[in-house]
């Protein structure tokens, strides 16, 4: 059983979705520049770095948005 998401976790989930959506056009732009200008152009590897950033941002924000499981009563801190 898990707790419900609090406001910060809901915000992290929303940011995860935004980052995941922004990954797609960044990667598409990288592929387009790779095909038209090649890897020697400075914009091409930069767009790959942007796509990787958004991808990892989505993963990290999603991990922060997962609610923690409820602790059993005997494992609660200070509840001896």
Question: What does the block give as tokens for 38?
Answer: 């090649």
Query: Is 69's pLDDT higher than 90?
Result: no
Query: Is 5's pLDDT higher than 70?
Result: yes
| Contact (CB, 8 A) for 62 and 13 | yes
pTM for this entry: 0.80
Helix H or strand E encompassing 73: none
Place of tokens 């990892």: 56
Query: Is 9's pLDDT higher than 60?
Result: yes
Half-sphere exposure of residue 78: CA atoms within 13 angstroms, side-chain side? 0
- CA of residue 11 relative to chain centroid, distance: 12
Question: What does the block give as tokens for 52?
Answer: 């990787």
- How do residues 20-40 score in pLDDT, each as one tens digit? 999 999 999 999 999 999 999
The string of DSSP codes covering 47-61 is: HHHHHHHHHHHHHHH
Query: Is 1's pLDDT higher than 80?
Result: no
Question: What does the domain layout of the chain look like in residue ranges?
Answer: 10-63
């Amino acid at each position: 059983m898990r707790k419900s998401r609090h406001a910060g976790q809901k915000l992290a989930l929303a940011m995860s979705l935004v980052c995941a959506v922004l990954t797609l056009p960044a990667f598409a732009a990288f592929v387009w520049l790779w095909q038209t200008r090649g890897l020697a152009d400075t914009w091409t590897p930069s767009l790959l770095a942007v796509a990787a950033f958004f991808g990892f941002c989505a993963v990290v924000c999603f991990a922060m948005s997962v609610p923690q499981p409820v602790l059993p009563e005997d494992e609660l801190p200070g509840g001896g």
